[in-house]
Each structure stands twice: as C-alpha cells, then as structure tokens.
Amino acid sequence: MEKIRDQAIKKRHLLKTISLKNDIQKINQMFSKSGVRVVIRDNKIQVTGNEKDKRRLISHFIMEEAPHHFVDRSLLTQNFNRTDVEQIEQIIKEELAPSTLKLNDYALINLMMHLLIMIQSLHHDDTLLSRDAYSSWLNTYDAAIVTKIIKRIENVFNLILNKHEREEIHMLFHANVDHLPLSDRDKLTTTVGDNIVRAMSSLFAEVQHIFGIDLDNDYFVFPFSLHLNKLFSRAMQGSSLNSPLTESLKQDFPVVFELAVFVSFRLSQLLHIPITEGERAYIALHIGAELDRQKQHSEKIRTAIFSPNYMNLNTQLYQHVSKQFEHDLNVVALVNDPSELDKLDVSLLITTVPQASSMAYRVVTISPFMTSKEKSTIMATIEENRRNVQRDFLRRYFDI
C-alpha cells in the first residue's frame, strides 16, 4: 500500500514537472524574439538574458496590464461621492463650453480626479502649506475662466481656497487643457518646491532604470507633482487620505500596484515622510492613468510641427492638426527654431517651411492653413505608416 502511494505521488510530481516544462516552452516560444528565456536550474525557475532585454520585457508586462481607460467616470463614482463627481463635471463643462479651452475625455477625467482628491483633502481640514512665490500658468483670458471655475467650486463645496491652492488648480488646467507641448519646468520648482522636484527626478530615473517605464513627461510630471506636494503637506501635518479602492486595485491590477508600492517606498525615503496604504492607492491611480495614456499614444505616430511663430499661426496649426488627427497623431513638439529639428525623437515632421528629407522621420510640407489636399497627404502618410507597422509585426513574429 505504501509503495502504491509513493508511486502515485511520484506520478503526480512527474505530471506537474511535465506541465511546468510545457508552460515554460510556450512562454519561450511566445517571447522568442525578446532575447529572454525562462529556464529551470537547480530546481529553480530563472530568467536568462541581458539586463536591457529583461527590463524591456518587464516594461512590456506592465504596459500590457494597464487597461484601456484605467481611470474612467465609473471609477471616480466608486472612489468619491457620486454627487461631487457630477457637480465637478457640470461646473467644468459649463464654464469651458463658451471658451476656447478644450479638454478631451482623458484630460477631463484626469482633471476631475485631481480636483476631487483636493476637495476630499480640504474637507479633512488638510490645507496646503502656502509659499511666498507665485507663478502665472495661463494667459489672462484662460486664467479668468479658471478663476470662475474656482469660485463655483468654493460655493458648491463650501470651501475657501488659499492662494497656493488656487494656483495649483490653474496649474492643473494648464497640464490638462489642449495647450502647446511646451515645458514650464522652471515654474514647477517655484510652485511645489525644490524638494519635490528633486525627489521626482531621482525617482523617475530609478523607475526608468529598473522597470523600463518613462514617467518623466509633462503629462505626468505636472499633475503628479501637485498630488505629491499635497501628499507631503498632509504628511507634515500628520494626516493622510484613505481610499476604498485599495483592495480592488491590488486584485485587479497587481503589477501596477506593485509599481506604486515601489514608488511609494522610494518617495518615503527621499522625502522622509510616511506614506500610508490609502495614499499608495492614489499613487497607483496616477501611475495606472499614465500607463493607459502611454499605451493609447503608443499606437499613434509621434509627430512634431515646425512652423515660424508669426501672428499665432503656429498655435492655430497645432490645434488644427491635433484635433483633425487626434486618433492617429501624437503631437509631442511644436518647433520654430530650425536648430531644434536635429534633436527631435519623432516619426513624422509636419512643416510649413520646406525641409530636406531625413532618415530619422518622414517630412510632410503643408501651408499654415492646411488645405483639404494637404489633409489627404497627411492621411496617406498615416496609412502608409500603419501598413509598415503591420508588416514589421508579421516579420517579427512570423519570419516572413
């Protein structure tokens, strides 16, 4: 009887070993082009390959887990008071409707999330530590619209915002509205403090090195620095925010949450503050939303626009191109200095001034007003790029 039981155990062990080896073989086949292999050595599963390829694969896994629309309206209503969500959305839409300020769906949800976190914090009597310095983020016309929104928020939510909190809302709009892709990093230090900026710089370098994820872009840096500044203020006052989404984020998006755990751990060391699990969940929301944005933009063509700065025509062209091709082009730079062209990391250059052909990117020349024929030319370039991507995919995975 004992012998039969031992044989049964050995058989089950053998079947599990065979099953594991089959799974490893499938994994290696799936990622055969990555330069990374999974092997069993000394009864341990190991990943072999050079560090660069390993990190690229880790980055791939993290991006794959980030779902489409990570932060959406339903998530906001789960995490915040539904009435608050509806009121914030109504205020923003009503005040922006007659203006030239525009928000796409992602930017609206992102802006609402930050404002709701701010309101929740203020309702817990956690005001921001004011600074002596003050920056102007928006032009006079746009700033007046945002000021109206601030007044309505104060009235609806029975709040009194200090000067620094008002500035942060202006900065939030600056980071989310359809503005030119120009950096105002110098103002950032004035607004959130040198300690926050230095901590983020160190953190982003580590995340890039370890996980292969680039968080150092204006779309993430500006809103996240505001959140981090508020988190720092709360910690200095001995308080923190709780989040009902902590457990669901752990279960539904474990890789994103683990990245948030690493980010929280390093920030707590760099800033010498405690970061609670509830605060960690909000960091996970920020990171997940950014990975979602990057995932969506990865399917678009990185594009730069070159146009002299004359009578605001370059701004109008940027807005026109961005709106006309919002699902196909990711406009990352607006350039008016020819010396900047060599520094571009793009696949397409749309220019109003004839340029020499480049090995680094495609060049499409148009007029400052972009005619229908020129739109068709850009669309044809987009279609050609799409075919090239499909062909490269087939070559990579099917050796055609």
> pLDDT grade, residue 364 (50/70/90)?
very high
Please give the helix or strand (H or E) that residue 182 lies within, else none.
none
CA–CA distance, 118 with 129 (Å, rounded to integer): 13
Residue 132: pLDDT band (50, 70, 90) is: very low
Better-scored residue on pLDDT, 238 or 283: 283
State the average pLDDT over residues 140-161.
Answer: 88
Q: pLDDT band at residue 344, thresholds of 50, 70 and 90?
A: confident
Handedness of CA 207, 211, 212, 218 (dihedral sign): negative
CA 142 – CA 177 distance, rounded (Å): 10
CB 382 within 8 A of CB 362: no
Average pLDDT over residues 288-294: 86
How far, in Å, CA of 290 to CA of 359, rounded? 30
| Predicted local confidence at residue 84, as pLDDT | 93
- The C-alpha torsion from 326 through 341 and 335 to 322, rounded to 10°, is -10
14 band by pLDDT with thresholds 50, 70 and 90:
low
Closest CA to 206 of 262, 274, 285: 262
Residue 279's Cβ-count burial label (10 Å; 0-12, 13-18, 19+) is: buried
Report the 10 Å Cβ neighbour count for 172.
22
Q: What is the mean pLDDT of the chain?
A: 80
Residue 373, burial from CB neighbour count under 10 angstroms (0-12, 13-18, 19+) = exposed
Q: Are 232 and 271 in contact (CB under 8 A)?
A: yes
- Which two tokens mark 205? 């370098």
The reply to whether the predicted model has a pTM over 0.75 is no
Higher pLDDT, 131 or 108: 108
Q: Does 320 score more than 50 pLDDT?
A: yes
Q: Given this model, what pLDDT does residue 261 score? A: 95
Span 38-43, average pLDDT: 74
Q: What's the rounded Cα separation, in Å, for the pair 385 and 391?
A: 10
Mean pLDDT of the region 336-342? 84
What value does the mean pLDDT take over residues 279-303?
87
What mean pLDDT is predicted for residues 190-195?
A: 84
Please report, for the chain, the start and end positions of each structural domain, with discontinuous segments joined by +.
2-49, 73-296, 299-398
Choose which CATH entry (1.10.1790.10, 3.40.50.150, 3.30.70.940, 3.40.50.1440) describes domain 73-296.
1.10.1790.10
Residue 378, pLDDT score: 94
Give residue-wise pLDDT tens across range 196-236. 999 999 999 999 988 888 999 877 888 898 889 888 988 88
For position 269, what pLDDT does the model report? 97
CATH code of domain 299-398: 3.40.50.2300
The reported pLDDT for the residue numbered 134 is: 43
Cβ within 8 Å of residue 285, ≥6 positions away: 70, 71, 75, 79, 113, 245, 249
Using CA atoms, how far residue 237 sits from 43, 126, 189, 224, 385, in Å, is 50, 8, 21, 20, 53
Of 309, 280, 6, the C-alpha closest to 180 is 309
Q: How large is the average pLDDT for residues 37-61?
A: 70
Mean pLDDT of 115-120: 84
The reported pLDDT for the residue numbered 125 is: 59
Average pLDDT over residues 150-169: 87
Q: What's the confidence (pLDDT) of residue 61?
A: 65
The pLDDT of residue 333 is above 90:
no
Sequence letter at residue 74? S
Is the Cβ–Cβ distance between 355 and 304 less than 8 Å?
no
d(CA 276, CA 126): 16
The average pLDDT across 65-87 equals: 78
Per CATH, 73-296 and 299-398 having the same topology is answered no
**Distance from CA of residue 128 to its chain's centroid?**
24
Bridging pattern class, strands 301-306 and 329-335: parallel
DSSP E strands: which ranges in 127-274?
none
Give the pLDDT of residue 345: 86
pLDDT of 60: 65
Query: Between these two residues, 361 and 121, which has the higher pLDDT value?
Result: 361
* Res. 398: pLDDT tops 60: no
Least confident of 1-15, 76-90, 227-241: 1-15
Which of 14-23, 168-177, 281-290 is most confident?
Answer: 281-290
- Within a 13 Å sphere around the CA of 194, how many CA atoms are in the beta-carbon half? 1
Query: Which of 229, 214, 157 minimizes the C-alpha distance to 149?
Result: 157
CB atoms within 10 A of CB 173: 24
Decide if pLDDT at 397 tops 70: no
By DSSP bridging, strand 37-41 and strand 44-48 are: antiparallel
